[in-house]
Amino acid sequence: MKGALSSSGVGLGLGGLLGALALLYPALLLLAPLGLRFGLPFFLGLVLVLLRGLLFPVPEPPYGLRVEGTLAVREGFTRWEGHRLRVKHFPPLEDGVYHLRGYLAPPEPRRNPGGFDERAWLLAQGVKGVFHVEQARRLSALPNPRTPFRARLAEGLSSPAKEVLEGLVLGDKRGLEDAYLLFQKAGLAHLLAVSGLHVGFLVGAILLLPLGRWRYLLALALLPLYLFLAGPSPSLVRASLMAGLSLLGLFLGLGAAGVVQALGLALFLQLLLRPEAILGLGLQLSYLAVLGLALVLPALRLPPGLKGYLLGGLAASLAVQAFLAPLLLHRFHLLPLLSPLANLLAAPVVALLVPLGFLKLLLGGALAWAVEPLARGLLFLAGVASQGPLLRLGEISPQGFALYYLGLLPPLLALHHLLPWRKALLLASLPALVGLATGLPKPVDLWLLDVGQGDALLARMGGAEVLVDGGRPEQGEKVVRALRALGVEALEVLVATHPDADHFGGLLRVVEEVPVGLALLSPAFPQDHPLVQALRAKGVPTLRPGAGTALRVGKGRIQVLWPSHLSGDDNQDGLALLLDLGRAKALLLADLPAEVEETLAPGPVEILKVSHHGARTGTSEALLAQARPRIALIGVGKNPFGHPHPEVLERLQAHGVKVYRTDRMGAVRVDLGYAW
């Protein structure tokens, strides 16, 4: 391991990595002295990648400019005056030449915890602009040279088998949809991103041919073909670079390159090509996985024969899991615990399917009889393994990542006999203890999530979580993902303030996915309401409280202030809640009108969830004078009603209330510290 670490490839790779990261976070340059032990290659890598990023940055298109012209759209992207742009249109535009009219905008940053970060995703691909298309006229089709290959791949296969094969051979998971979730929960999703595993099986199959030294050259020639067919995803580029280096070495009689060496060199080359690529999840996963394999496997002494093969497979899978665990949890919030086993079972099937699929790309229907049952088998395996236990965790802080990998270091050194095991475990236990300790203080805060036009508010009350409303039905997935990202595994209390779709809609999905302790519903919900039925199906105890009900939740209290009587109007019968979070009180007003506000008498509060998305029917002068909030939260999106109304904003301003609205700011967090 010492020898491998001092090699030039590793130095170049690490230098390039620091350079790429420093382009995003310049403060990281302070870490540069750590690279001293890698000598010249490290600093060469650092300087070259830094220069590449500083001298040739991704150009920024003129945002706000109206654009009209004839453009070729390929896989959702187009090229305009030297800028690569993402094309946004509903429904998505198929490949082709179009006459397009629209405007240029910057990509959206993340708007919710656990939400999609379009900006980072596009930047990793060297794209800084989005073309919002308002009018598109299709002029002609765009010939795709990959189409005949794809058609041959699909020939003679049933639809599910075809989709599995497209994912497995070409890394195209668009057709899979629900089945992809199964693969994810089984820990087999990595099979559907073309990477070293696939290149390995393909190259391995070719190396079995009795061609002497020339088989290396044949394999080498296949790599660009594979890149062309499957598209240059970061993991495939990485694998092709590494395999290419090794095959070239073998053909020239120099021997295969060391894996760590080749990995470092490939990373350097890929970052030199585009430093922003480091933001891509595919690249991160791909390099970490191979690093895990390269650092763990050579240190093991495995018995010969089948037993050794099985143990090796298990160890490989565990090594990859150990290196990827925090990243997978951070991004997907779940880690399949049976994944090593599932991978061991899937390996032989994939080893056959990848070379067969590749042959099928060239030959067409002739191989369907062999591919169909194998693909079905893999799908079946994913279905069974997806039922296994999952580890769930929210997003992980940068310190958390650093602690995890610090904890991984001593056992790794012990594996290579550089440290006695007892000392290693002692050292590794320290970061683990710190990690546990940082999890002890429970956050106390309010999150007003961005669910477009609608309300969804999560209150974390020191170890117990309360969700008040969930936006429209199609926003449910967003709310669930936010809960997962914030590490909310179960809701103590779920509140549906009134039966309007922009308040209860998303809760249907939440009830399905997240365990709930108690549901508080407005008395306006009828017995046969879908939400009531969903709660009943899950066996959640339900309460329809009126004014005067109070609950103790976590370190705080929930008080119900309204309704005191029923009027028959949905908005007027909504629940008004007063949350006491210890350090501050929050008044949540659902869609209540001013007449109700005036009767509430909540006393002074710090935080006000403004009634009815800022409609002029609420947030009366009387309420503001009584409650004297300092912070106003408005859950609002693009809407035809003119919410929030200028009069409401003026009233709030006149009272010196600071307004936070989700349409301008994305999700808003009111941080009230931590509770033990």
The yes or no reply on residue 660 touching other proteins (CB under 8 A) is yes
Q: Which residues of 331-361 are buried (b: 16+ CB within 10 A; e: fewer)?
A: bbbbbbebbbbbbbbbbebbbbbbbbbbbbb
Q: Of 410 and 618, which CB lies nearer to other proteins in the complex structure?
A: 410
Structure tokens at 598: 């005036």
The yes or no reply on residue 397 touching other proteins (CB under 8 A) is yes
Which region among 290-298, 398-406, 469-477, 647-655 touches other proteins (by CB under 8 A)?
Answer: 398-406
Backbone φ and ψ for 52, nearest 5 degrees, come out as -60, -45
Rounded distance, CA 400 to CA 287, Å?
Answer: 20
Task: Rule CB under 8 A: choose which of 28, 120, 359, 406 binds other proteins.
Answer: 406
Which region among 251-259, 281-289, 395-403, 565-573 touches other proteins (by CB under 8 A)?
Answer: 395-403
Instruction: Please spell the DSSP secondary structure of 71-82, one letter per residue.
Output: EEEETTEEEETT
Q: Of 538 and 583, which CB lies nearer to other proteins in the complex structure?
A: 583
The yes or no reply on residue 337 touching other proteins (CB under 8 A) is no
To other proteins, the closest distance from the beta carbon of 10 in angstroms equals: 18
| Residue position matching structure tokens 């509060």 | 605
To other proteins, the closest distance from the beta carbon of 585 in angstroms equals: 11
Rounded distance, CA 413 to CA 404, Å?
Answer: 15
Q: Which of residues 408-437 bind other proteins (CB under 8 A)?
A: 409-410, 427, 430-431, 434, 437
Task: Rule CB under 8 A: choose which of 70, 144, 147, 438 binds other proteins.
Answer: 438
Backbone φ and ψ for 237, nearest 5 degrees, come out as -60, -45
Task: From 442, 491, 487, select the one nearest 465 (Cα to Cα).
Answer: 491
CB contact set of 266 (below 8 Å; sequence gap of 6+): 13, 237, 238, 241, 242, 245
The yes or no reply on residue 26 touching other proteins (CB under 8 A) is no
Structure tokens at 132: 């919002």
Q: Per-residue x/- marks for other proteins, 109-138, CB under 8 A?
A: xxxxx-x----------------x-x----
The yes or no reply on residue 145 touching other proteins (CB under 8 A) is no
The yes or no reply on residue 664 touching other proteins (CB under 8 A) is yes
To other proteins, the closest distance from the beta carbon of 453 in angstroms equals: 16
Q: Of 372 and 395, which CB lies nearer to other proteins in the complex structure?
A: 395
* Size of residue set near other proteins by CB under 8 A: 52
471, 458 contact by CB (below 8 A): no
- Name the CA dihedral angle for 33, 38, 44, 45, rounded to a multiple of 10 degrees: -90
Q: Per-residue x/- marks for other proteins, 622-651, CB under 8 A?
A: --------xx--------------------
The yes or no reply on residue 658 touching other proteins (CB under 8 A) is yes
Element (H, E) at 101: strand 96-105
Would you give the DSSP letter of residue 643?
P
Q: Which of residues 547-606 bind other proteins (CB under 8 A)?
A: 583-584, 606
Which region among 239-247, 453-461, 641-649, 665-673 touches other proteins (by CB under 8 A)?
Answer: 665-673
Would you give the DSSP letter of residue 254?
S
The yes or no reply on residue 60 touching other proteins (CB under 8 A) is no
Q: Of 174 and 638, which CB lies nearer to other proteins in the complex structure?
A: 638
Rounded distance, CA 577 to CA 590, Å?
Answer: 9
The yes or no reply on residue 668 touching other proteins (CB under 8 A) is yes
The yes or no reply on residue 462 touching other proteins (CB under 8 A) is no
Rounded distance, CA 640 to CA 29, Å?
Answer: 49
Pairing mode of beta strands 96-105, 129-140: antiparallel
Rounded distance, CA 256 to CA 249, Å?
Answer: 5
| Residue position matching structure tokens 């967090």 | 669
Q: Hey, is 521 helix, strand or coil?
A: strand
The yes or no reply on residue 441 touching other proteins (CB under 8 A) is yes
To other proteins, the closest distance from the beta carbon of 480 in angstroms equals: 17
Task: Rule CB under 8 A: choose which of 30, 33, 66, 178 binds other proteins.
Answer: 66
Q: Of 65 and 225, which CB lies nearer to other proteins in the complex structure?
A: 65
Would you give the DSSP letter of residue 577?
E
The yes or no reply on residue 395 touching other proteins (CB under 8 A) is no
Rounded distance, CA 188 to CA 339, Å?
Answer: 7
Question: Which spans of this chain sit near other proteins (rule: CB under 8 A)?
Answer: 63-66, 103, 105-106, 108-113, 115, 132, 134, 397, 399-400, 402-403, 406, 409-410, 427, 430-431, 434, 437-438, 441, 450, 583-584, 606-607, 630-631, 658, 660, 663-674
